[in-house]
């Protein structure tokens, strides 16, 4: 009798005090995955997914995942979860991908969407927050995409991150932290890390926005100041001080009064801009608008990609705020089946070599004895004549 398959759900419950698991999918309940994942019907030519562990695997049931099935097709499928914001929290995105068909050109990445994404109309123009994972095409493109949606634009990591190109299952992990540091892992090994602000070329964009914001603040304050300055009037009750020396002190002028009362240290129009620096620094909206790794209402995960040759298997999806939990989950899934998968592939490869050798030998024997038979028949017919 086969041993029962135990999901990590129980582990999630025990770990919930330390980690928040926003989404987790292992496809351990048969065809019920269709109740959670929605195929896009935006294009009738979209390719279809099936549940499969492939031609070789570490565990026939545990290694089942979403597999692309049709060559030369676009694919679009997604699953919803309870919306959340990662503001002030670490965001960990993790999954496994297996290019069993030895990918020649196609995507193996995932996308994280806002909660209002239309799953039925999901397509390449659907707005997403994060795109992460391998992309392969020919000899030139063998990279890991890390694209972030920022100020209504998509920005990709400027570093070249190489992906795996073999036919085995690999674990991809993206970690975005509140301090703007990040890590990209493959098979639980850090292959790239750094600072989001610099590695996405966003510093110049932030400086431009900061400068624009400060300029607007200064212009507005200048306008307000000019309008308020017009309300000033000479203090008619004032008199020149007895010690005033016109030659040394210049012409005396009565002080200005204001109605309403003088406020916020207003100065005459034309004052040097730097005096108002403390006023400008009060406005820090550009900082809160540009939290580079924070997203509101994250609510769906999906596969929206193109493949020339189908056969890729996606599995073990995880979105959490806990790096330790992600590592534990990775060990309990990919970590448990990666070695048996390679062993099965090696056994199959040996069997294929053996089978090919036997077929070659059989062809040689058939050719040899078939030739002798033809020689006998030729001389036999000659004797009869």
Which residue do the tokens 């770990």 mark? Answer: 15
Beta bridge partners of 336: none
Annotated binding-site members for an alpha-D-glucoside: 109, 111, 128, 135, 304
As a whole number of angstroms, the distance between CA 289 and CA 302 comes to 26
Helix (H) or strand (E) holding 68: strand 65-68
As a whole number of angstroms, the distance between CA 113 and CA 38 comes to 14
As a whole number of angstroms, the distance between CA 61 and CA 52 comes to 9
As a whole number of angstroms, the distance between CA 27 and CA 9 comes to 12
Helix (H) or strand (E) holding 113: strand 110-114
Note whether 317 and 36 are within 8 A (CB): no
Note whether 229 and 265 are within 8 A (CB): no
Query: In whole angstroms, how far apart are CA 371 and each of 25, 360, 376?
Result: 61, 16, 9
Note whether 318 and 331 are within 8 A (CB): no
Note whether 322 and 12 are within 8 A (CB): no
DSSP string, 118-166: -GGG--TTS--SEEEEEEEETTTEEEEEEEEEETTEEEE-SS--BPP-S
Length reported for the chain: 385
Beta bridge partners of 181: 195
Note whether 283 and 217 are within 8 A (CB): yes
Note whether 229 and 269 are within 8 A (CB): yes
Note whether 300 and 127 are within 8 A (CB): no
Orientation of helix 334-384 relative to helix 323-332, angle to 10°: 30
Note whether 319 and 301 are within 8 A (CB): yes
């Amino acid at each position: 009798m086969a041993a029962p398959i135990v999901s990590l759900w129980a582990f999630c419950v025990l770990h919930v005090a330390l980690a928040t698991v926003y989404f987790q999918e292992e496809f351990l309940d048969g065809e019920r995955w269709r109740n959670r994942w929605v195929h896009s019907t935006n294009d009738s030519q979209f390719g279809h997914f099936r549940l499969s562990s492939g031609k070789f695997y570490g565990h026939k049931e545990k290694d089942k995942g979403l597999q692309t099935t049709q060559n030369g097709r676009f694919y679009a499928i997604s699953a919803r979860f309870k919306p959340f914001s990662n503001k002030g929290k670490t965001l960990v995105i993790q999954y496994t991908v297996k290019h069993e068909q030895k990918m020649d050109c196609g995507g193996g990445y995932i996308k994280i969407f806002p909660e209002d994404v239309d799953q039925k109309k999901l397509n390449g123009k659907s707005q997403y927050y994060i795109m992460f994972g391998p992309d392969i095409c020919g000899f030139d493109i063998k990279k890991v995409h890390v694209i972030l949606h920022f100020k209504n634009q998509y920005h990709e990591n400027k570093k070249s991150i190489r992906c795996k190109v073999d036919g085995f299952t690999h674990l991809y992990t993206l970690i975005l932290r509140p301090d703007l540091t990040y890590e990209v892992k493959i098979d639980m090994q850090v292959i790239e890390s750094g600072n989001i602000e610099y590695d996405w070329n966003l510093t110049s964009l932030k400086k431009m926005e900061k400068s624009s914001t400060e300029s607007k603040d200064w212009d507005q304050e200048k306008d307000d100041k000019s309008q308020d300055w017009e309300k000033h009037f000479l203090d008619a009750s004032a008199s020149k001080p007895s010690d005033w020396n016109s030659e040394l002190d210049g012409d005396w002028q009565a002080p200005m009064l204001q109605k309403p009362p003088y406020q916020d240290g207003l100065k005459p129009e034309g004052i040097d801009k730097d005096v108002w620096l403390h006023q400008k620094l009060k406005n820090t909206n550009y900082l809160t608008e540009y939290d580079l790794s924070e997203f509101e209402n994250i609510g769906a995960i999906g596969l929206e990609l193109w493949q020339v040759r189908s056969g890729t298997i996606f599995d073990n999806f995880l979105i959490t705020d806990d790096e330790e939990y992600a590592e534990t989950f990775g060990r309990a899934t990919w970590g448990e089946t990666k070695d048996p998968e390679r062993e099965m592939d090696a056994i199959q490869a040996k069997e294929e070599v053996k089978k090919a050798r036997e077929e070659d030998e059989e062809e040689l024997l058939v050719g040899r004895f078939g030739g002798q038979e033809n020689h006998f028949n030729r001389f036999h017919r000659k004797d009869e004549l």
